[in-house]
Structure 1
Amino acid sequence: MNREKVNVSDVIQSKTAVSSDQGRKLFKKLSANINNKVFTDVYFNNIEILTTAFLNTSIGNLYGTVDSKTLNEYVALKTDGLPKSRADKIKLVMKNLKNRLSTHETNIEIFGEDEETTL
């Protein structure tokens, strides 16, 4: 089993994770690891500022490339040691993404994949 520890600050070369451009760097790293079947532990411990724009781009976009079961299997977000506000922000974004994914999957079941639906 291949397992890699990924420090967000190392991937984006910054202690502030605020932009979509930075998020794309982490997205590419995690996407490549999933495609190569590498289990990844993602650590945010050196990040001083964290925005939802970064999280939506880096983590949220993964939901568009793989199903949630695969994502949960290969990517673990480690929030140990983070200030409560940052850990809560990660949890909130993940909850919102899962709710949005659930709605999308329900729409596909009801209307089929080829139909575009907006609720």
Structure 2
Amino acid sequence: MIRIDIAQKINNPSALTQEQGTKIYNAIVTSFEHKEDVTLDFANVESMISPFLNNAIGQLYGKYTGEYLSKHLHLANFPSVKNSTLNVVISNAKKFYADKDAFTETAKDVLNIE
């Protein structure tokens, strides 16, 4: 099992950006490709917002099933005050990746984009 210290991996105790999230996502995918389970350790993270979580965790639902992630991805020291944010990220990711084309078309219609 691989343990990823989030703050160390992003060189910052604040997990705020999509770019930071992508760095974590890439580390997770690389580990999964090597058939390794992953534990994300949030012990040294002082602040965190949804753009980070969208890219670090939500994006995984485009490549892996919820069942796979439940079995192979583990969270350690995740701040309980962020559980609702994580739940929203996961719920939105599952909906988005279940029908990405329809979601994209609806967003374009709502935003009036061609």
Q: Is 1:92 the counterpart of 2:80 in the alignment? A: no
TM-score (norm 2): 0.76
CA distance in 2, matches of 1:8, 1:55: 11
Residue-pair matches, total: 104
Which of the numbers 3, 6, 11 marks the counterpart of 2:4? 6
CA distance in 1, matches of 2:56, 2:47: 15
Secondary structure, counterpart of 2:39 in structure 1: strand
Secondary structure, counterpart of 1:27 in structure 2: helix
Q: 1:44 corresponds to which residue?
A: 42
Secondary structure, counterpart of 1:37 in structure 2: coil
Q: Over aligned residues, Cα RMSD in angstroms? A: 2.1
How far apart are residue 6 of structure 1 and its match?
1.4
Q: Is 1:60 the counterpart of 2:41 in the alignment? A: no
CA distance in 2, matches of 1:77, 1:96: 19
Unaligned runs of 5+ in 1: 108-115
Q: 2:110 corresponds to which residue?
A: none
How far apart are residue 88 of structure 1 and its match?
3.1
Q: Is 1:25 the counterpart of 2:9 in the alignment? A: no
Q: Is 1:69 the counterpart of 2:67 in the alignment? A: yes
CA distance in 2, matches of 1:87, 1:44: 13
CA distance in 2, matches of 1:15, 1:50: 9
Which shows bigger deviation, 50-59 or 84-93?
Answer: 84-93
What amino acid maps onto 1:88 in structure 2?
S
> Which deviations, in whole Å up to 9, do the C-alpha atoms of 1:55-96 show, x marking residues without a partner?
00111111112222222221112345x2x3223322332233
What amino acid maps onto 2:20 in structure 1?
Q
What amino acid maps onto 1:98 in structure 2?
K
The answer (yes or no) to whether the contact 2:59–2:93 under 8 Å persists in 1 is no
Paired-residue identity, % = 21
Query: Which of the pair is proportionally richer in helix?
Result: 2
Unaligned runs of 5+ in 2: 107-114
